[in-house]
Amino acid sequence: MSLLTLNERTIDSVRNQGLGLVVALTGHADAGQVVRQVRAELLDSLDAELLASFDADQLLDYRDRRPQISFLGDHFAAYQAPRLELYRLTDGLGQDFLLLTGPEPDLQWERFAAAVVLLARALNVRLAASFGAVPMPVPHTRPLGVTVHGNRPDLIEGISTWKPTAEIPAAAAHLVELKLIDAGREAVGYSLHVPHYLAEAEYPQVAVAALEYLGAALGLGLPTDRLREAARRVEAEIGEQVAGSPEVQRMIAGFEARFDARAPEDGPRSLLINPGAELPGGEELAEAAEAFLAGQADDGGPSAEGG
């Protein structure tokens, strides 16, 4: 039985060749619900076209992760079948990229990874970028840390804030990255560090960070505005809760002290600027934003007043 079904109307288009690939699989560890948030933001905000789909019946254990179904008084309806799919999306700058997204397979990891490698070869994927998040004993009052992995030194060196040597439970995305590299493809992955006391909640800050890393690595303009607004609300809510609990204040102060003691003086390198370049000041950013908005208005796009 075939594991992969191609959309024959779209898969052979030259438009699909040589693109970057974002791997977004929800697995056993999704601290801050980062994958769910990023997946929703990309598919809700950007134009998407289905290129291929995997047979979920062969890959998922439904009794372990049961799909949802609606019960309407006296009958069932709207069964939500799990979907593991490959899309082509177009970012806000008109640039195409690929998105492999859905639940992490429970079964047949080797076969699944081999199919992803086959797709990457057929579509001449230039770079595959995966992401995830892990709970860490770090404070929410400090910048989110990250551990970067893959075979692109320009996207890895100097970025990681923590570089452990350890045996850890594998994820399907890890195996896909490993198999892609073995096949001679380029791959990079970002494991973001979420404060452990926020790991079970929806934490928009980590989704914003993930989209920034993915966008910088793949040269894409990915949407973050809605998530940034949500992050501001969450930050205010956390501040109120912390202010009302001296015990939590002491816990966070301890995390801050340990974080600051271990943080390197120079800090990690940013992917968002070239080595040796200076970050633009506030006036430069404001002028650039005004110029962009003016250009949008001239083209019939949203104005600063109209949104």
CB 178 within 8 A of CB 109: no
pLDDT in tens, 186-203: 999 999 999 999 999 999
Q: What is the pLDDT of residue 262?
A: 82
Tokens of 59: 């890959």
Q: Order across the sheet with 187-195: list the strands.
A: 4-6, 47-54, 84-90, 96-103, 20-26, 127-136, 187-195, 146-150
Q: What confidence category does residue 22 fall into, taking pLDDT thresholds of 50, 70 and 90?
A: very high
Q: What confidence category does residue 302 fall into, taking pLDDT thresholds of 50, 70 and 90?
A: very low
User: Which residues are paired to 85 by β-bridges?
Assistant: 53, 101
Q: What is the pLDDT of residue 269?
A: 66
Task: Evaluate if residue 128 carries a pLDDT over 70.
Answer: yes
pLDDT in tens, 94-118: 999 999 999 999 999 999 999 999 9
- Residue 83 carries which side chain, given as an amino acid letter? R
To the nearest whole number, what is the mean pLDDT of the chain?
Answer: 88
pTM (two decimals): 0.84
Q: What is the pLDDT of residue 197?
A: 93
Q: State what percent of residues in the chain have pLDDT above 90.
A: 78
Q: What is the pLDDT of residue 29?
A: 74
Q: What is the pLDDT of residue 263?
A: 75
> What is the rounded (10 degree) CA torsion for 67, 71, 74, 78?
-70
Q: What is the pLDDT of residue 274?
A: 41
Q: Closest Cα partner for 10 from 98, 84, 101?
A: 98
- The answer for residues whose C-beta is within 8 angstroms of residue 89's C-beta and 6 or more apart is 42, 43, 46, 47, 48, 49, 96, 97, 98, 99
For residues 217-231, average pLDDT: 97
Q: State how far the Cα of 57 lies from the Cα of 47, in Å rounded to an integer.
A: 27
Task: Evaluate if residue 279 carries a pLDDT over 60.
Answer: no
Task: Evaluate if residue 267 carries a pLDDT over 90.
Answer: no
Least confident range from 52-66, 91-105, 170-184, 257-271: namely: 257-271
The DSSP code sequence of 46-104 is SEEEEEEEE-HHHH--TTTSPPP-EE-SSSEE------EEEEEEE-TTS-EEEEEEEEP
